Amino acid sequence: MAKSTSSKKGKTTKKTKASEEKAKTAVKSETAKNSKVEDNKSQIVHPNTGEVVSKDSIETVIQKKLLALYTLQQIDTQIDKIRIIRGELPLEVQDLEDETEGLETRTNKYKQEIEEFNQQISNLKIAIKESQELIKKYKDQQMNVRNNREYDSLSKEIEYQTLEIELNEKKIKELEASVEQHENMVNNSSKKLEEMKGDLEVKKKELDNIIADTKKEEDLLIKKSQEQQNFIEERLLSAYRRIRKNAKNGLAVVAVERDACGGCFNKIPPQRQLDIQMYKKIIVCEYCGRILVDDEIVNSVDIEKFV
């Protein structure tokens, strides 16, 4: 809200310069009064070059510098974005690779367990056979017993071995159920593993293509950035590079957004916002040191051109 009010004030100031009668009647701010005084002087000394220029050309010079800087920022931000995206893609492929490897390890563990179950089953089958042989032997011995006590003793042994066989058969059934369950799991994970390996191959190819594509785009943007740097004087350029290097988000030139610095989000006082719109000098954020631009500069740069 306050932002649109201040930019209106800025426009009013410019209109005042255009129409003299309005300027006489309008109640003006301190800045408006100052610009009126300078209007009367018509010529002033350029703060950077020292040459005598008209006031309008000073504003034009600063505006051009800000425009060039903001344009450079947009190009460099696009380069930053490409590098971030390209940095994340290999991680995605790595995740899929890890996932595939994990499933492969689990599948192999199931297979190993199936082998162990089958080994246990064959051991139990051997035990059953031994019990059956013992039963046969005891039954034969029962034919030749001398008394009831011996017969009963053998009957107990036969009963014991019969129970052993039943118990082992029950264990075999349980193990066979486990084998079946594990075989299903192996089948399912093998199918999934095949799909994942296919996905992985596609993703890897995609990654290669994206790396190649973004490299092309990046090279183009780097060329544009270098061309844009030719429009900016070395002193400003090194300041831009220094601020950008120190800023986590790589932003050295930011817009005033909702009365705050677009880089550090600290509030910018109304007078400072007016100063930014006057283009009398390059103004930096007093908190983070980033170069500040107004909406007019932001709207003049066609960001689409660099996307």
Binding residues for Zn ion, per CB under 5 A?
261, 263-264, 285, 287-288
Sheet with 260-261, edge to edge strand ranges: 260-261, 253-257, 291-293
Structural tokens at position 63: 């505006």
First to last CA, the chain: 30
Rounded least distance, CB 293 to Zn ion, Å: 12
Structural tokens at position 205: 């190819």
Rounded least distance, CB 255 to Zn ion, Å: 11
Q: 69 or 288: whose CB is closer to Zn ion?
A: 288
3-class SS of residue 284: strand
Q: 221 or 285: whose CB is closer to Zn ion?
A: 285
Q: Distance between CA 145 and CA 166 in Å, rounded?
A: 27
Rounded least distance, CB 268 to Zn ion, Å: 8
Rounded least distance, CB 294 to Zn ion, Å: 15
Q: 103 or 264: whose CB is closer to Zn ion?
A: 264
Q: 36 or 272: whose CB is closer to Zn ion?
A: 272
Rounded least distance, CB 9 to Zn ion, Å: 22
Rounded least distance, CB 251 to Zn ion, Å: 9
Amino acid symbol at 86: R
- From the list 77, 89, 122, 145, the residue with the least C-alpha distance to 298 is 77
Supply angle C-alpha 83, 297, 19, rounded to 5: 175
Rounded least distance, CB 281 to Zn ion, Å: 17
Do the Cβ atoms of 82 and 213 come closer than 8 Å? Answer: no
Q: 122 or 266: whose CB is closer to Zn ion?
A: 266
The half-sphere exposure of 236 on its side-chain side, counting CA atoms within 13 A, is 23
- Secondary structure of 26-93 in HEC code, one letter for each residue: CCCCHHHHHHHHHHHHCEEECCCCCCEEEHHHHHHHHHHHHHHHHHHHHHHHHHHHHHHHHHHHHHHH
Q: 127 or 264: whose CB is closer to Zn ion?
A: 264
Q: 128 or 243: whose CB is closer to Zn ion?
A: 243
